[in-house]
Amino acid sequence: MKIAVVIPAYNESKRIKDVLISIPKEISGCAVSVVAVDDGSKDETSAVASGVKGVKVIRHAINLGKGAAAKTGCDAACKLDADIIVLMDADGQHRPSDIKKMIEPLLSSKDELLVVGTRRINKKMPLTMRIGNWGIAELLKLFFKIKVSDSQSGFRAFRCSTYPKIRWVSPNYAMETEMLILASKHGIKDIEVGIDTIYHDNYKGTTIFDGMPVLKTILKWRFAWSQVSKSLEYYSH
């Protein structure tokens, strides 16, 4: 069993090395490889990541967005014959030590799963982020009956065999939301795993401005589902 940890990064030269060197080479008897995707950084992110032994570094010539960088990394991971993909942020918000419990549901079940690392709410989480996450979670519950308390968490795990079904189009932070909607569409069960999160900068994560593409994605998929439901209802008569 092979695990690929995919890390999209943009201007993270100060923190990405600590993240990369903290990822173990083996977890639960599974070999671990790392794919870091520099999304057109203006700093030395690529050089720093390339300096860590065993890390495959892919660089976008221009900044395309987190969703695009994550997709590039996941595509590469599957080409490297990984069985499980773990998505992590590059800024040190996620603890590499939590990878083990993120993959445990995938190792213990044959069901198709999307594992979401749910951040524990604390005073260090920026208020705008708490409100935004709550609002998006409520919309997903209302429109799609998806009950995930931390819909915007970037810490995810899934099998490569599941990836084509949840492969998102969104190039930005809406990727996490689209992934959940696609998983629901294909009957893939979401599993939440509690994680600790370290907040270095208040602006990190989904801001109000980032929330607009997320809202647009939710409304787009809601409209698409409504059209499909109407068609099924029409042809059933």
2-236 placed in CATH 3.30.470.20 = no
Q: What is the pLDDT of residues 151-195, one digit of tens each?
A: 889 999 999 999 999 999 999 888 998 899 899 999 999 999 999
Please determine, for residue 139, whether its predicted confidence score (pLDDT) is greater than 90: no
Q: How many CA atoms lie within 13 A of 20 on its CB side?
A: 28
Q: How confident is the model at residue 205 (pLDDT cuts 50, 70, 90)?
A: low
- Contact status, residue 199 vs residue 93, Cβ threshold 8 Å: yes
The distance from CA 131 to its chain's CA centroid, rounded to whole angstroms, is 20
Q: Can you tell me the mean pLDDT for 93-113? A: 96
- Tell whether the model's pLDDT for residue 70 goes beyond 60: yes
What pLDDT, on the 0 to 100 scale, is given for residue 202? 47
Please name which of 88, 108, 85 lies closest in space to residue 97, comparing C-alpha atoms: 88
Per-chain mean pLDDT for the chain: 85
**What φ, ψ does residue 52 adopt, rounded to 5°?**
-95, 120
- For position 158, what pLDDT does the model report? 98
